[in-house]
Amino acid sequence: MTRETLISLAIVLALLAIPLWATAAGETFYITLATRMAILALAAVGLNIALGLGGLVSFGHAAFFGIGGYAAGILASHAFNMEPLPFGLPGTNAMPVIWIVAIVASGLVALAIGAISLRTAGVYFIMITLAFAQMIFYFAISWPAYGGEDGLSIFVRNQFPGVNTLNGLSFFFVCFTLLIASLGLFSLLRASRFGAALQAARQNEQRLATVGIAPYRIRLAAFVISAMVTGLAGALFADLNRFVSPSMLSWHMSGELIVLIILGGVGRLAGPVAGAMLYVAFEYFLGGITERWQLFLGLLLLAVVLFARGGVVGLLAGKARHG
């Protein structure tokens, strides 16, 4: 086992330990905190496919996070009110169905956004993804059917067959399982032919084209896969909070996901997990002391960027190896 694998395992086990400890100690609030970590980590694992492997600095991943959230909220509200959706389709409170809708919807939107955005690069790519996400954000604000600016409540957490999702620990395990699955996906993609082409596109686009592989299609596929994972996380996030609002779509959210990855380690398997744990812990513990906790987060980010470019994982496991 390589050192990075060991570190990844340790990080994931640390996340798993939090709710187990919290249950034993009766501190159930920490279960929610750990669930929040797992969901943000999942969202960031998604972004890490585009950002870490492909070098695509998407500043619009909140769009997919929010679309996933609204998929959960809208389907649940129709099921709750027993109103059919357009085309007479019923709403649902079954998580598997909601997840599929969240994944497909995020993927389709990403296909449209990516098809246009990926014709640009660098700062323009950052700005155009931001612009698309902001369009969706303002659309959500001005669309009264689902709460507009006030957001949309999910009155009862959605159901997963055979699991009591109202139990915090059970819901954590649902999220944690999906996080592990996403890490498996990331790891497979990274080692595959597709991953090789994607990482080559990040390192040297000219080289990739010169061996006869068009970078655009590779990047577009990565962008869509990336958005699908983040969209799934959005659906879980809505269920965690039992609430969806346009804030899930805001550029702060996109920035937060990027920050998570930078803290944890760009392109590293467990980077988003470490980043999410650190971020949520900061938000909670420092946020309890001072309202200006983000100042300290900023200092931490600065330290990471200046002194530990590989983030937490880079610090612990050393430079990435590509075989």
Partner 1 sequence: MAEPVLKLSNLTKTFGALKATDDVSLDLKPGEIHALIGPNGAGKSTLIHQIAGSLRPDTGSIRFLGHDVGALGVPERARMGLGRTFQISSLTPEFSALRNVMLAVQARQGTSFRFFRPVMRDRTLTEPAMAMLERVGLAGRAAVPAAELSHGERRQLEIAIALALGSKAFLLDEPMAGMDPEGSKTLTGFLDQLRAEAPILLVEHDMDAVFALADRITVLVYGRVIATGTVEDIRNDADVRRAYLGEEA
Give contact residues for partner 1 (rule: CB under 8 A): 188-189, 191-197, 199-200, 203-204, 206-214, 218, 221, 320, 322-323
* Nearest distance in Å: CB 243, partner 1: 35
Question: Please, which residue, 14 or 196, has the CB nearer to partner 1?
Answer: 196
Q: Which two tokens stand for residue 178?
A: 């999906």
* Nearest distance in Å: CB 195, partner 1: 8
Q: Which two tokens stand for residue 118?
A: 């990926």
* Nearest distance in Å: CB 204, partner 1: 5
| Residues 4/269, Cβ–Cβ less than 8 Å | yes
Question: Please, which residue, 1 or 211, has the CB nearer to partner 1?
Answer: 211
Distance CA 70, CA 231 (A): 10
- Residue 117 burial (10 A CB sphere; 0-12, 13-18, 19+): buried
* Nearest distance in Å: CB 181, partner 1: 14
Q: How far is CA 290 from CA 6, 45, 256, 279, in A?
A: 35, 29, 19, 15
Question: Please, which residue, 119 or 292, has the CB nearer to partner 1?
Answer: 119
Question: Please, which residue, 147 or 271, has the CB nearer to partner 1?
Answer: 271
* Nearest distance in Å: CB 99, partner 1: 20
* Nearest distance in Å: CB 11, partner 1: 22
* Nearest distance in Å: CB 114, partner 1: 15
- Residue 113 burial (10 A CB sphere; 0-12, 13-18, 19+): buried
